[in-house]
Chain A
Amino acid sequence: AQTVTQSQPEMSVQEAETVTLSCTYDTSESNYYLFWYKQPPSRQMILVIRQEAYKQQNATENRFSVNFQKAAKSFSLKISDSQLGDTAMYFCAFMKHGGANTGNQFYFGTGTSLTVIP
């Protein structure tokens, strides 16, 4: 079974500073995908960044980047130049392919609540 662990229930960061959110996962799969989703108070889950396990290069999206360590099964999210709008719950997610009849299998962590302090 796949599990996703986010060990930091709450974090805070000063505006303009950098923060790293941790995520580890457990799987026996060799090909899979990893995601970070953001859920602001509006409640909509928004995709922040996506990583394909077969790619060694870490994904980057503007101020968001990941540190993907496949052997260690670690997938941390770094937010640079934090902004007030980054305040949200952040969920790490693991996805493996399912069959055409069952679809993919998504596994989410319990989330990290990030507060950006002015």
Chain B
Amino acid sequence: ETGVTQTPRHLVMGMTNKKSLKCEQHLGHNAMYWYKQSAKKPLELMFVYSLEERVENNSVPSRFSPECPNSSHLFLHLHTLQPEDSALYLCASSQEATTNYGYTFGSGTRLTVV
């Protein structure tokens, strides 16, 4: 049990599909994050939620739509993706958005867009 659970573990979707990634934490953390991990590139921060409010949106295309219904759950809704969106999507959480102690990560969803 990692503390941060992501589902599904793998996802293959067509460019016209709509799908959602789910992230769940029961660590009592108040901040949650979506990162994109592509090969040979640094992790890219996509979204930050603090106390269920979005506080950061790093110029992410609108085909990615986050949702944070409560402090334990975070979703990433996907629609009309492009092949270059294929990557590992990591969710993370922290006690608060200004923590000094780093993040707890999930095991990611490996997304392939065909």
Q: Which residues of A contact B (CB under 8 A)?
A: 4, 9, 33, 35, 37, 42-47, 50, 52, 91, 93, 95, 97-104, 106-110
Contact = CB atoms under 8 A, between A and B. Distances in A.
Nearest to B50: A103
Contacts of A107: 42
B105 A103 contact: no
User: In the complex, which range does the number of interface residues on chain B fall in?
Assistant: 20 to 34
Contacts of A33: 100, 102
Contacts of B108: 43-44
A106 B103 contact: yes
Contacts of A50: 101-102
A97 B41 CA distance: 23
A88 B111 CA distance: 21
Given A43-B88, A44-B107, 15 more contacts: A4-B42, A43-B107, A44-B105, A45-B105, A47-B103, A50-B101, A50-B102, A97-B98, A100-B50, A101-B55, A102-B55, A102-B56, A104-B99, A106-B45, A108-B43
A101 B56 CA distance: 8
B97 A100 contact: yes
Contacts of A43: 88, 90, 107-108, 110
A101 B50 CA distance: 8
Contact of A102 (B48, B90, B106): B48
Nearest to A100: B98
B2 interface: yes
B2 A44 contact: yes
A73 B110 CA distance: 34
A108 B110 CA distance: 19
